Chain A
Amino acid sequence: MALAEYKYKDILHRCFRCGYCKFPTNWIDVNNCPAYARFRMESYSCGGRLWLTRAWLNGEIDWTDHLAQIMYSCTACKNCEEKCPLRFNVDIVDMIRATKSEMVERGLIPSVVKEFLENIQRQGNPYGKARAKRGEWIGGTGIPQYEGQEFLYYVGCVGSYDTRAQETARTLGKVLIKAGLPFGVLGSEENCDGNEVNTLGEETLFEMLAEENIQKFRDLGVTKIVTLSPHSYNTMKNDYPRFDGSFEVRHYTQLLRDLITQGKLNFSGGLNARVTYHDPCFLGRWNGEYDTPRQILNSIPGIELIEMEKNKTGALCCGGGGGNFYTDFLAGSESSPARIRAREAYATGASILAVACPNCMTMLEDAVKAEGLEGELAVKDISEIVAEVCGLA
């Protein structure tokens, strides 16, 4: 029986499907599981995924493309773990990841996920673009290659290849230069960090990526890493130590906050704007980091920080996790999570939606366009806001 090998076979049946996992911490609506918010069918709720896993592994239902799409529409945002009242709640996202890896090992995955994984196997990025082009985002910014400096600035696939995210990568580089931080980037030598590959269930490919990265970092003498993306931050901080790759890993907001407080980054001006901040899941719910980005925004004169109704542990995911920034299973409707989130941001009266993750950036910027709010709500990365007030824009 397939159920026998499933990692969570002993606790899978304990999901009562009571539906708490769909709610934000303040219970205000039933839209906080991104996949359920998009389709509003019980099968797409977290409880639905667990029941369907059990039904599939029990042989009550067969594998179908639709079943795979239901599983892969999970963005690993951990809202379910935040809200499930039962004691196995800390394992839920990993239970769904284990279902995906059952599918991966049988080769039965949606073709867009197959593409995603094969592109990474060959080119080290989900877009399948040439490895040689991974450093092109640097352009003429003078951001140095890594040659043993104190910090490795790890950019990640989205920051390296997605046009909008490349701007963020460049801006952060300029800010770090201005702060006089000794750092360098790997450019075309950089490879995928594997966080999405892990949440997509390709365990062996993830291990290979992690081990190769750790070996490369060790050979280069890397000890401190600052990442552009919370996804890279999460896997390097929580998973790499499993392959004895222990480095001092920070998300860039944590570094900027320190640079600001140490006076290495002082603002030449303020920013008179109402700003609302979107908590990225891999910074917030995965790693409990809610305060640092807010400290940065509050330290900028003129900024009025307004919280969305659903924030911190109750934030609604932008829908880009679990590979969905590429596979787009949640796209195509006004109830796509990114569009719901864009409307929520706009409702606060803010003119800037501050993000701290390249995935959120791409998802929310598209959503703002789709909602026709382009002129009224600007999506800006925190590094871009800091750059602006440091006169670097």
Chain B
Amino acid sequence: MDNVKKALAEIVGEDHVSAEPEELYIYSYDLGTTEPHRPDYAVAPRTTEEVQGIVKLANKEKIPVVPLGGGLSLAGLAVPLRGGIALDLKRMDTIIEVNEKARYALVECGVSQAQMCSYLERYHPTLTHSEPGAPGPATIGGNVAIHGQGDLAQPYGFSSDMINGLEIVLPTGEVCRFGSCSISAGWFTLHPLPDLGLFLGWSGTTGIITKVSLRLFPCKRIRGTGQFVVEDEELVPEVMHKLTHTQMAEDIIAYSQAIPPFTSGLHHITINIGGDSEEELEFKQKLLWDDTLGEYIRRGDGGFLGFRRGLDRPVVAKTSDWRKGGGFEYVGAIMPVDTYPECYRRGREISERHDIPYTVLGRCIGMSHAMMFSWTYAFNRADPESIRQAREALHESDDLALELGGTLWKPGLYGQKLVMERMDSNTLELMKKVKQLLDPNGIMNPGNWEVA
């Protein structure tokens, strides 16, 4: 095996490849409840050319390649199920270009969310990107690869709907470019060339994203979050529907959690809005709280908790420390908005059955077109029983999401199996052909989306 390590070292340099037990231990773990699997090598490339070299070598030696950015998918998508090369892409963290006029940012896949926020705030204050609220080190590449959603999902959809162009290293080592960048220097649009969208939502099984051109959006001078609270979960869908009608909000999230106890059983709806002037801000506040939600307030069914200026980005990963356990994992599903009440009620049952304080959250995508609904389960990393309980609760939540007619977002192995069992056979067959076409040697993140 050593000649592989030597070859890898020639590609990325001595310092950036390791087969030592320490690196293999760390890269075998997801932060959630997924069982760890040791890779054979941990490699940190700096350029697209180095990624190509690694992938070509992997083809020659028939070794799996498992790409990861922050490795924070909390679904085990970057756990090397069949060993091989853990490909840490975080060294590819150059912000190549920010085009103010066309409002896009061309970045290497390893640019972190926090770095993007900080860079735009400092150099392009009138622009912002859809920040997913994940911990800072989560990467732009990773987020689009799993169809993530951010705090602009309500007006503009999934992060993967905000792509102007992609540079991909195919499983056989060639570099492809998709969008205007494939025929000109500009990375301003993904459409309308023949659509070859085969690399998102595949959990890195069809290729490695090395560059992303991400759409940016206007950033208002004053941005803040208002909170509305209701007790009856049946109200949430209609409130979300009315709020999206105003087209004034940037992000609408409904969440409910057992801790702290005074919030238990209540549904907090946070609404992000922005304005360049106090007048614009007040105009939006009036439209949202008075004209749209006024009826609920007057009837006493819903309460306005106030508007706080400033957005807390990136969101602090405090959830992991609730039970002093250092860990949590959640199932994310894309559900119809009107399933919120059922998702909440059934989710609470699952949590109570596994003695885990319930935490659920629904983030509106588009004009109430859908929502990302998450069931979160904290666990104590030092207590295997609590990990087992969390894992069971996660699987029951996977089942629940599909039972209620939803689809699973970034599913782990268990979820992928459920989805493939329900998927119509022709689509499944096509997936298999695409995978074989792109990855003849089956080296790309094997074990994921494996059609029998």
Contacts and interface: CB of A to CB of B under 8 A. Distances in A.
A282 to B, nearest CB: 26
B414 interface: no
B136 A23 contact: yes
A284 B135 CA distance: 26
B137, B316, B324: which has the most chain A beta carbons within 10 Å? Answer: B137
A27 B16 contact: no
A66 B381 contact: no
A4 interface: no
Contacts of B381: 13-14
A14, A39, A60: which has the most chain B beta carbons within 10 Å? Answer: A14
B318 interface: yes
A22 B138 CA distance: 12
Contacts of A23: 114, 136-137
A13 to B, nearest CB: 4
B380 A13 contact: yes
Contacts of A48: 26
Interface residues of A, number: 36
B245 to A, nearest CB: 35
B23 interface: yes
Contact of A14 (B27, B117, B324): B324
Interface string B324-340: 11110000000000000
Nearest to A41: B23
B72 to A, nearest CB: 7
Interface stretch (B1-9, B86-94, B214-222, B388-396): B86-94
Contacts of B320: 14, 16, 18, 86
A342 B382 CA distance: 42
Nearest to B22: A43
Interface residues of B, number: 44
Nearest to A69: B22
A20 interface: yes
Interface in A36-85: 39-43, 48, 51-52, 55, 60-62, 64, 66-67, 70, 85
Contacts of A66: 20-22
Contacts of A86: 318, 320-321
A353 B22 CA distance: 37
B112 A30 contact: yes
B154 to A, nearest CB: 24
Interface in B30-73: 31, 42, 44, 70-72
Contact of B115 (A29, A70, A333): A29
A87 B324 CA distance: 9
Contact of A27 (B44, B90, B118, B318): B118
B325 A13 contact: yes
B15, B44, B114, B122: which has the most chain A beta carbons within 10 Å? Answer: B114
Contact of A52 (B26, B44, B318): B26
A16 B115 contact: no
Interface string A1-36: 000000000010111111110110011111000000
A40 to B, nearest CB: 5
A377 B88 CA distance: 35
A86 B328 CA distance: 14
Nearest to A52: B22
Contacts of B283: none
B259 interface: no
A60 B136 contact: no
B317 interface: yes
Contact of B321 (A14, A17, A26): A14
A40 B21 CA distance: 16
Given A30-B90, A40-B90, A17 B112 contact: no
Contacts of B188: none
B289 interface: no
B119 A28 contact: yes
Given A18-B317, A19-B135, A66-B20, A41 B42 contact: yes
Contact of A61 (B25, B90, B93, B122): B25
B138 to A, nearest CB: 8
B324 to A, nearest CB: 6
A330 B343 CA distance: 51
Interface of B: 15-16, 18, 20-23, 25-27, 29, 31, 42, 44, 70-72, 88, 90-91, 93, 112, 114-115, 117-119, 122, 135-137, 314, 316-318, 320-321, 324-327, 380-382
21 contacts: A13-B325, A14-B381, A15-B326, A16-B321, A19-B136, A20-B136, A27-B114, A27-B314, A28-B118, A29-B115, A30-B112, A41-B16, A41-B18, A41-B23, A42-B26, A43-B42, A52-B25, A61-B21, A64-B20, A64-B22, A66-B21
Q: Nearest 5 A-B pairs (CB), nearest first?
A: A19-B137, A16-B320, A14-B326, A27-B118, A13-B382
Given A51-B29, A52-B22, A85-B318, 18 more contacts: A13-B326, A14-B324, A18-B135, A19-B135, A19-B137, A20-B135, A20-B136, A23-B114, A27-B117, A27-B314, A29-B115, A30-B90, A39-B16, A40-B90, A42-B71, A43-B18, A61-B22, A66-B22
